[in-house]
Amino acid sequence: MISSIANLWPDQLQPVWTSDLGDYAAAIASMWWQTDLMLSDSDNDVVDYQALFDVDMAPTWVLPWLAQCVGERIPVGYDDTQARDWIRNSPKWIRGTPQGIWNAVKRVLAPGASMQMRERWNVNTSAADPDWILILTWAAQTPDQNLVEEVLRRNVPADIMYTYTVQTAATWGSFQGTVANWGAFQTTYGPNWSNVAGATPGYVTWA
């Protein structure tokens, strides 16, 4: 039996119990019936309400509330799997780290996008600098550059300076006029297309 206040109060509040108080208790209990159900299954290995705070165990209807506990809001239209991943991969868990910055930035990039980062390098002086990082995304994968800028302002540590660049990725069309054939391309630029279209030298790719 579920030990909700609707069941507990009648005995606990005797002899002042009245039918009006019963209506009040029923109204209060109606707001908790879903959470009380978590305690009604003796075989679910749940200790008290722990499942409500576990992203893997929580029922789907709990996820919007659980997201708020970590400062998130699940986007409209997300299914169960997407909602759990959104909470689990919140950049706020590791805010300010390279992984945390990527977790935040990829939310505003196109699906399947990547981001490149170079740490400890000041592009203005072309010299090593522990207080600078460089962020690069591809134009075709960046629907809104301003959104990326906004995300970076919220997630790059306040004592770190950064430079953000949106770059057009290399395509075969941009090179085929400069070389006669693939053999000439390999001789000029390198053995693989990734030598041109892949990661920028000095950067780490996050995808």
Sketch out the chain's domains with CATH numbers. 94-207 (3.30.300)
DSSP 8-state assignment for residue 23 = H
* pTM of the predicted structure, to 2 decimals: 0.67
Those residues with Cβ within 8 angstroms of residue 91's Cβ, 6 or more apart along the chain or in another chain: 100, 101, 103, 104, 155
Please write the tens of the pLDDT for every residue from 14-59: 888 888 988 888 888 887 777 776 666 556 566 667 778 899 988 8
Please write the tens of the pLDDT for every residue from 135-167: 999 999 999 999 999 999 999 999 999 999 998
Average pLDDT (174-178) is 65
